[in-house]
Amino acid sequence: MPSEPTASPSTPDAGWLAAERARLWDFARGSVHPAGGFAWLDDDGRPELDRPVEAWITCRMTHVAALEVLAGNRDAEPVLDHGVRALREVLRDAEHGGWFSAVDTATGEPVSTRKACYDHAFVLLASSSATAAGHPDGAALLAEARAVFADHFWDDEAGMAVEAWDRGWTTLEDYRGVNANMHTVEALLAVHEVSGGIEPLRQASRVVERVVHGFARDADWRLPEHFTSDWTALPDYNRDSPADPFRPYGVTIGHLLEWSRLTLHLRTALGDDAPDWLLDDAAGLFDRAVADGWHADDCDGFVYTTDFDGVPVVRQRLHWVVAEGIGAAWVLARETGEAGYADWYAAWWAHAEACFIDREHGSWRHELDERNRPAATVWKGKPDAYHAYQAALLPSLRPAASFAGALRGA
């Protein structure tokens, strides 16, 4: 493990975490779009109603609303219903099946007809959470999402998910990506825990073994993200567009932390059948993220990306990265009992409070520059409550494969 923080701030207690979840929810629920789905929020929480409604934002908000319902917040039920209805009507392709990435709310027409695994993974997650929360249409939505995933995205020979199709499912994109597969693992673990089926767990295990125990371990934990159709790495991909919000060049530090946490959720799901390498690899990913990404330029915070030698490329600090650091540190501390992880957990909450949590305008600032000043190079506004909300929820849950599964079994 990299050297521990020089100071050990106090660890947030259950009351503080509950208050933070309530504060995040109060801000995020303002994203309900009158035309269906959820809107992009600006820095002050105003919905940008002229922007298209995007699937990933709608799914993440539906997921968070389901978690609120599972935690006993009855006022979240209409928000959950709004999200489920958007996935069954607004964003769904009634002609060819599957879901559009974004829809123009003025015309109801898709902004793009591309069918992306990233978005469909979040439909799986949202529908699983809605099902766990008891929404009457959750099970039907989940069944449809599972069928689309099985028919179009799962490549059993590769043990991975493919990236994207055209609208009619006739042309498959040559690119393969680790980001979409990461969220596929997250979704499959939720499907497994909510449905009880073994196939989603088998699929999640295969992806984690290939990505974490293969690609990441072979690269000394500097995980390549971009690949050809036969899963040959593309190390120079997007070198000329390094700050891309979904496909940045190089190593994405936050994804190392997110894979670390998800690897441990898989370990929990597998129970006695879990291989020993899952814990070792989760620690390896975490250590690499801290060594390369934290305080990389004499200022606290995680850089967004590095090159494959660990040199920072995009130095902006994004809120979701420290949120994933908090989650990974918490689970590693619980699973290993090592005090060093608990120290990082406390230190990163202190960093979030000092730099990201916006007590004046609400939610978390989504991006800071290399000196922790507000910025908007990669992300503008505050459209995403999911990472921060989950960071504030995880310490309150029993060990589980998914957030919804843990709350449903509480």
Name beta bridge partners: 11: none
The three-state secondary structure class of 382 is: coil
**Residue 387 designated active-site:** yes
CA pair distance 408, 70, nearest whole angstrom: 6
Pairing verdict, β 226-227 and 176-177: antiparallel
DSSP string of 162-207, one letter each residue: --EE-TTS--B-S-EEHHHHHHHHHHHHHHHHHH--SHHHHHHHHH
**DSSP H helical segments within 101-168, as ranges?**
117-132, 138-148
Q: Which of 192, 255, 319, 351 is catalytic?
A: 255
CA pair distance 234, 176, nearest whole angstrom: 10
Residue 210 φ/ψ, nearest 5 degrees: -75, -45
CA pair distance 386, 285, nearest whole angstrom: 22
Which helix or strand (DSSP H or E) is residue 391 part of?
Answer: helix 386-393
Pairing verdict, β 367-368 and 251-252: unpaired
Q: Which of 63, 152, 265, 387 is catalytic?
A: 387
Catalytic residues: 255, 387
